[in-house]
């Protein structure tokens, strides 16, 4: 068997009840939820009983998905699974920071709460939107984006899917252009143009929050969305740049495979990353752990 990478899901896949089974079956997962409740009372209740609408508000989404990710990772580690590498998609990277030991769980959770507030504030100040584009190459999508003002590829998810952030006023025209190019465009139910220049103010705010924290070297190599390489150099700049620059997910997965990873375990919410990994390379194993059944079935 090759190496194992733990990958942490991002926002968008949240749902009422996420993490509840792991809370009740894994002491390590429960400890993560209890930690969150001690800092942000009601976080567990939001995860388990919150409405879809409540969980879709960025200031709630980021803390709750973070906790679902981190709790699932703790449950996997509790089971004795050896983990060689870490990566997280967008928000998931902050949970991975905590799991890697770069920050304590408490400091990582405080940071993601601040990140959610900052990105929500930035989104409310700009008329941003995001559109998933399929059936066109990333290179062609980049060319199309240049034909519009305030339009940027921001999530390089797989060879067949790239997410584009833009001013919401051009969404219809952009989608028509994609259709004319024989591609498929799907507007996403998000509140802003994340990972774009619209997040500059949020990036600056994260820098201020990070100035008060000390980051350790990761105990498990962690790959950065911003560089698609392991964390090295100025750790804080990687975190601040991440929220206003593209997520290089396809490149990250390809780099991990080149390091010998043949098994990816998605922790947290849903199976979005599991699907993306299989689209990037169908020969690797990609599995998810988000509930008791998944955890019981894990045999690595």
State the Cα–Cα distance between residues 192 and 248, nearest whole angstrom.
19
Helix axes 105-125, 27-39, angle to 10 degrees: 60
Q: Which member of 90, 100, 158, 203 is catalytic?
A: 90
Single out the catalytic residue among 195, 196, 203, 224. Answer: 195
Neighbour count for residue 295 (Cβ, 10 Å) = 20
Strand partners, 222: 86
For residue 82, indicate whether it is catalytic.
Answer: no
Question: What's the CA gap between 239 and 222, in Å, rounded?
Answer: 12
What's the Rg (C-alpha) of the chain? 18
How many CB atoms are closer than 10 A to CB 299?
A: 7
CA distance 188 to 251: 23
- Annotated active-site positions, please? 90, 195
């Amino acid at each position: 068997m090759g190496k194992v990478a733990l990958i942490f899901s991002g926002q968008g896949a949240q749902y009422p009840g996420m993490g509840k089974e792991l809370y009740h079956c894994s002491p390590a997962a429960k400890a993560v939820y209890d930690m969150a409740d001690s800092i942000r009372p009601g976080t567990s209740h939001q995860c388990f009983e919150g409405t879809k609408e409540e969980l879709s508000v960025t200031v709630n989404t980021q803390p709750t998905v973070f906790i679902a990710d981190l709790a699932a990772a703790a449950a996997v580690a509790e089971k004795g699974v050896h983990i060689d590498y870490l990566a997280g998609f967008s928000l998931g990277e902050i949970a991975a920071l905590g799991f890697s030991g770069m920050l304590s769980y408490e400091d990582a959770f405080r940071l993601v709460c601040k990140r959610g507030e900052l990105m929500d504030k930035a989104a409310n100040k700009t008329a941003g939107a995001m559109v998933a584009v399929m059936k066109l190459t990333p290179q062609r999508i980049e060319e199309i984006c240049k034909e519009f003002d305030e339009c940027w590829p921001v999530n390089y998810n797989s060879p067949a899917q790239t997410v584009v952030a833009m001013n919401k006023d051009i969404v219809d025209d952009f989608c028509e252009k994609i259709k004319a190019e024989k591609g498929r465009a799907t507007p996403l139910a998000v509140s802003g143009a994340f990972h774009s220049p619209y997040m500059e103010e949020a990036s600056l705010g994260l820098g201020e929050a990070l100035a008060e924290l000390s980051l350790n070297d990761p105990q498990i190599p962690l790959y950065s969305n911003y560089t698609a390489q392991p964390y090295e150099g100025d750790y804080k700049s990687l975190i601040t740049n991440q929220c206003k620059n593209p997520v290089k997910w396809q490149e990250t997965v390809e780099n991990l495979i080149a390091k010998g990873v043949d098994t990816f375990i998605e922790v947290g919410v849903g199976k979005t990353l599991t699907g993306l990994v299989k689209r990037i390379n169908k020969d690797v194993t990609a599995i998810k752990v988000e509930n008791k059944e998944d955890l019981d079935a894990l045999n690595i």
